Amino acid sequence: MKILSPLSKTAEVKPLAVAGADEFYCGIVTVEWEKRFSFIASSNLRHDRVANFSSFDQLAEATKIASSLKKPVFCAFNAHFYSEKQMPLTLKQISQAIDAGISKVIVSDISLISLLKEQNIGIDIALSTANPAFNSESLAFFKEQGLQRIVLPRHLTVEEIAGLAPSAKALNLELEAFALNALCPFIDGLCTFQHVGKDPNFVSAQELACRMPFEVETISSQPKQKQLSAKSKACLWQNTLPDACGLCALPSFQKAGIHSLKIAGRGNSTEKKLADVKMLKQALSILSLPQKEFVQEMHRLFFKSFYQTCSSSKCYYPGEGLA
């Protein structure tokens, strides 16, 4: 399984590659885009400068270094949709990104997918988690649209992911699953929030609308205790931090044939990105351990990296590592 690392600075490429990154993904918001549409209408679902390249010259320099290290760079143009005014510039910038040396474009807007298919852009296309693929029929549909990789929705369980894997293999589709950071209880593809903050340079997780205080009521036929447990867990998200881990699921992902493990966090510091890549690299190095021992090692690794014990509020796949 390959380690897919976030990237937002040219200087990050070499150290992240040395640390163990096999692939990179990034976003770009140019001065031209910002002047016409602003960071609030970012072309890639990150609305802060620290998470994005600001020019295609920067991107080209990054891909040049990555290419010399035999590491591909993917670029996200994965806004949920683009307006009629935005689409021409989006297509132009995808062409510029290809000229800058990217190996794959990450998209979600079905109109953009259709246009890229018509234009036969000459590089692979990956489906962003912002357009969620829930089942085998959706995999088949996106394969027909010319896509080569599916970034799986965050909320899927390991069992659901393993259930999709045979269909993906039959379709020759790569599957990409989240491994670290930015856990969200909601479905990206159905999210209507703008992820913006007070500072255009950096968006704090605690500023996001989905982290504002809210109340939860359960509507269910389940026993009262289960309803209370679900309600309590949902309310945890008001105060959680963006650190999250799914490493206990790696043996199951390997068995299922997952192609890439995604580290979220384009806006994180270089030091944080390096620590995450090293953490995931270390986890992959001991995959041969018996399941119980592997999970114990992941709990130790989590504590060493995040200075806290594992908990359900920070676990991507609780059934794998936490009861």
Report pLDDT digits (tens) over 102-148: 999 999 999 999 999 999 999 999 999 999 999 999 999 999 999 99
Q: Is 219 part of a structural domain of the chain? A: no
Provide φ and ψ at 108, rounded to 5°.
-135, -35
The upper half-sphere exposure of residue 158, i.e. CA atoms within 13 Å in the direction of its Cβ, equals 21
pTM of the model: 0.89
Res 307: pLDDT: 82
Residue 119: inside a domain: yes
Q: Is residue 260 part of a domain?
A: yes
pLDDT reading at 195 higher than 70: no
For 48-64, what is the mean pLDDT?
95
> Would the pLDDT of 318 be above 90?
no
| Assigned domain for 127 exists | yes
Instruction: Quote the domain boundaries for residue 169.
Output: 2-182+242-321
148-157, 187-196, 277-286, 312-321: which has the highest mean pLDDT? 277-286
pLDDT recorded at residue 235: 72
Each residue's pLDDT tens digit, 257-304: 999 999 999 999 999 999 999 999 999 999 999 999 999 999 999 998
Percentage of the residues of the chain whose pLDDT score is greater than 90: 69
Burial group, residue 195, by CB count within 10 angstroms (0-12, 13-18, 19+): middle
Distance in angstroms between the alpha carbons of the first and the last residue of the chain: 26
Burial label, 298 (beta-carbon count in 10 A; 0-12, 13-18, 19+): buried
- Bridge partners, 24 (sequence order): 5, 73
Is 189 part of any domain?
no
Within a domain: 46: yes
Residue 217 within a domain: no
The mean pLDDT of 27-47, rounded to a whole number, is: 91
What's the mean pLDDT in 198-223?
73
Q: What pLDDT is attached to residue 237?
A: 63
The mean predicted confidence, pLDDT, of the chain is 90
Number of domains in the chain: 1
User: For the domain that residue 135 is a member of, what is the CATH number?
Assistant: 3.20.20.380
Strands 23-26 and 2-6: parallel
Give 313 or 181, the one with higher predicted confidence.
Answer: 181
Residue 195: inside a domain: no
User: What pLDDT score does 9 carry?
Assistant: 96
